[in-house]
Structure 1
Amino acid sequence: MNRFILPALGLCLLGAPLMAKEVELTPIHVTEWKAVYGRIEARDRVPARARIGGTLTALNAVEGDVVTAGQALATIVDEKLAFQLSALMAQRDAANAQLGNAETDLNRGEELLKQGVTTVQRLDGLRTQVDVLKGQIAALDAQAKVITQSQKEGVVLAPMAGRILDVPVAEGAVLMPGEAVALLGGGGIFLRLAVPERHASELRAGDTLQIGGAGAETTGKLVRIYPLIENGRVVADVEVADLPDDFIDARVLVRLPVGERSALVVPETALVTRSGLDFVAVTSGRAISLRAVVPGERHVIDGTPMVEILSGLQAGDVIESEAPAAEAASHE
């Protein structure tokens, strides 16, 4: 049935007035895009670690929470520290009592020396005993401060501002010094790409990439290309404005330029679709005829949607940038 409709449509177009703008086709250079997947990653990943060993008695870290630098995430208690502190305090009390007795003996010796009853050597020994006891008390105080500081370090603090990505422990667990209580991501987020190494020579820092596939409005900037090739792939970082950080390591489709090629493109409005086939109105003098074409990728050039033509047209053809009036009437 179509073979009768299309010739009739073509005859109708022959006498149609030229309603649209005529465009002469010339090859242009279009960007060759490579579709890859990028991962949303935090710029910095820092674990919040236990500074002392003990039992995790409180855990305030939950995956997904946004925390500030220095915020308390967990509390670790080592009961031995309290016992050690009590022992030091008892030793200090004993040394303090001995110091009081030694200072009394020293005062008595000084009075006896004035009366000529004792010797200077004996008095020097009493002074030395007082100084030794004072030194012992100062050492015990220092040790007590160390234990008190260790008790304070039982509170696990967020090392930076960011989002909690992982909490590998549970309340009640026994931890060793240095174990990770939570993993934080911060310092901003970016897209990390792994591009096949055959495209490494086409990558340039500063290139603009399309985020989200063909026709995507969001763009990103290629800011860093790492020189080390891993498993046949080049790793690169892309900065994207307003990139969501709800899900870290989420995959996002990215189209990056890997070269240029010559192509014929027509305005998207020039395409006419009939019975599953695509046509473009071609003018010859004042006559218009529909020519079957095979469309390819779509491009946006200077803000105008354009369609690449793979076959059916050639350079120098004059086409209508919009469907002619006869075709518009046939739509009705």
Structure 2
Amino acid sequence: MHRTRSALIAAAIALTPASALAAEFVVEPVVVNETKAVFGKVESRDAVPARARIGGTIREIRVDEGSEVAKGDEIAVIVDDKIALQQQAADAKIQALVSQLKNAETDLDRAEQLLKSGSTTQSRVDQARTQVDVLNNQLAAAEADRAVIAVQATEGSVAAPASGRVLRVPVTQGSVVLPGEEIALVAGGGYFLRLALPERHASEIEVGAPVLVGSRPAALDAPATVETAATGTLVKVYPQIEDGRVLADVEIEGLGDFFVGERTLVWIPVGKRSVLSVPTDAVTTRHGVDYVRIATEAGEMEVAVILGSPFEDEGAPRLEVLSGLESGDRVVLP
């Protein structure tokens, strides 16, 4: 009984048309983003120069092009021999004023004792007290001058103005520099891609749109492709058009390994269009020609198709069909 039933089921399957057993996909227009491939240039958020605060001779340079620095790191030391001489002169002036102040305080004490015994006048005491006050003020001013010189000596240390990578060091050890001269240029604040698009796309690009960024072209035989691209975000569109180009910025993780100024391919959406598509597993290729099997009233048949770019429709991989199919065709899936 069991064998007879199994035989009947097998015979029914054998007599059933293949189109009844295979799944079908109805070809319908799908709206996809129209993308344009452009080159994006790696830029840094900030390019801050580390400048000399005093003039003098560069005794030591602690960074080179490409060095990573943190904000506040000492990148160079500038020495001005005149500062040491100014400190010596300030110390000598302070010592002289201290000695004068001691003598003036002694004269004031003596005058106050003589005033108690009636041997001098009040005006002499007032004069001695005024002299003490004047020397105290002169001593305070001299100490302030010495503090200024001490601060100038510490300003010979050139600190990194921001955390990032050193782009250039235009000076060498032993160079003579002036106050305000650039010692190094530091790229900080993170990195982004700067795009220059034709102005006809200015009204079509939108902030927040996802973009595809090609991998770093390590070799000519491994160019960047859409399949290997990473996803970034369009974060800024500049309102000014220059030389027929509109500028836009793209943010993406992992640009720290790129060179500043390096270029890579970026696929950016510039509009939408309606396309016909089929699942990727519906296409078979023989002798370089792509075929799709469709179901008709007369039965199944294969048609040659010309395919476009791959894309995803609601998470499912699709292939764009440029010619060979029409809307409403039933594609037989394996």
Which residue number corresponds to residue 8 of structure 2? none
- Detail structure 1 runs of 4+ shifted over 4 Å in the superposition: none
Shift in Å at residue 255 of structure 1?
A: 0.8
Please name the residue that 2:219 is paired with: none
8 Å CA contact 1:209–1:222 kept in 2: the answer is yes
Aligned residue number for residue 181 of structure 1:
183
Q: Which whole-Å CA distance do the structure 2 matches of 1:146 and 1:245 have between them?
A: 43
Aligned equivalent of 1:8:
none
Q: Which residue of 2 aligns with 1:6?
A: none
Task: State the secondary structure of the residue aligned to 2:256.
Answer: coil
Q: Distance in 2 between matches of 1:72 and 1:130?
A: 45
Name the structure 1 match of 2:295.
283
2:162 to 160, 163, 171: 160
Gaps of 5+ in 1: 1-15, 323-332
Please identify, of 281-290 and 76-85, the stretch whose mean Cα deviation from structure 2 is larger: 281-290
RMSD: 2.1
Q: CA deviation at 1:67?
A: 2.0
Structure 2 counterpart of 1:17: 18
| 1:149-298 matches, cutoff 5 A | 149-212=151-214, 213-285=225-297, 287-298=299-310
The yes-or-no answer on 1:56 pairing with 2:58 is: yes
**How much does 1:209 deviate?**
1.0
Q: Show the counterpart of 2:68.
A: 66
Q: Is the 8 A contact 2:87 2:146 kept in 1?
A: yes
Distance 2:276 2:331 in 1: 12
How far has the Cα of 1:46 moved from its partner?
1.6
Cα distance in 1 for partners of 2:116, 2:161 equals 64
Letter in structure 2 aligned against 1:209: V
Q: Mark the CA change 1:269 to 1:230 in structure 2 (over 3 Å): closer, same or farther.
A: same
Contact preservation (8 Å) 2:192, 2:251: yes
Tell me if the contact between 1:164 and 1:184 (Cα under 8 Å) persists in the aligned partners.
yes
Q: 1:115 aligns with which of 94, 114, 117?
A: 117
Q: Write the distance in 2 (CA, Å) between the matches of 1:177 and 1:230.
A: 36
Q: What SS does structure 1 have at the residue aligned with 2:203?
A: helix
In structure 2, what is the Cα distance between the partners aligned to 1:215 and 1:246? 20
Residue of structure 1 equivalent to 2:105: 103
Q: Report the counterpart of residue 83 of structure 2 in structure 1.
A: 81
The Cα offsets for residues 136-171 of structure 1, whole Å up to 9 and x where unpaired, read as 111111111001000001101112222222222211
Size of the aligned set, in residue pairs, is 308
Matched AA of 2:266: V
Deviates more, 1:286-295 or 1:140-149: 286-295
Name stretches of at least 5 consecutive residues in structure 2 with no aligned partner: 1-16, 215-224
Corresponding position of 2:220: none
Moved more, 121-130 or 147-156: 121-130
Shift of 1:183: 1.6
SS in 1 for 2:18: coil
Per the alignment, residue 3 of structure 1 pairs with none
Task: Work out the CA distance in 2 between the residues paired with 1:321 and 1:214.
Answer: 26
TM-aligned CA deviation for residue 135 of structure 1: 1.4
**1:194 CA drift (Å):** 1.9
Q: Are residues 1:319 and 2:320 paired?
A: no
User: Is structure 2 residue 45 aligned with structure 1 residue 43?
Assistant: yes
TM-score of the superposition, structure 2-length normalised? 0.86
Moved more, 116-125 or 251-260: 116-125
d(CA) in 1 for partners of 2:116, 2:193? 86
* Mapped contact 1:266–1:321 kept (Cα < 8 A): no
Aligned partners of 2:84, 2:298: CA distance in 1, in Å? 101
Pick one of 112, 133, 136 that aligns with 1:134.
Answer: 136
Partner secondary structure for residue 260 of structure 2? coil
Residue 286 of structure 1: how far off its partner (Å):
5.9
Write out per-residue CA displacement over residues 224-269 of structure 1, whole angstroms, 9 at most, x where no aligned residue: 2221223322222222234434422222211111111111112222
Percent of pairs with identical residues: 49
SS in 2 for 1:201: coil
How many angstroms apart in 1 are the aligned matches of 2:185 and 2:243?
27
Residues 40, 245 of structure 1: 8 Å contact kept: no
Say which of 305, 312, 318 aligns to 2:317.
Answer: 305
Q: Judging changes above 3 Å, is the alpha-carbon distance between structure 1 residues 73 and 99 closer, same or farther for their aligned structure 2 residues?
A: same
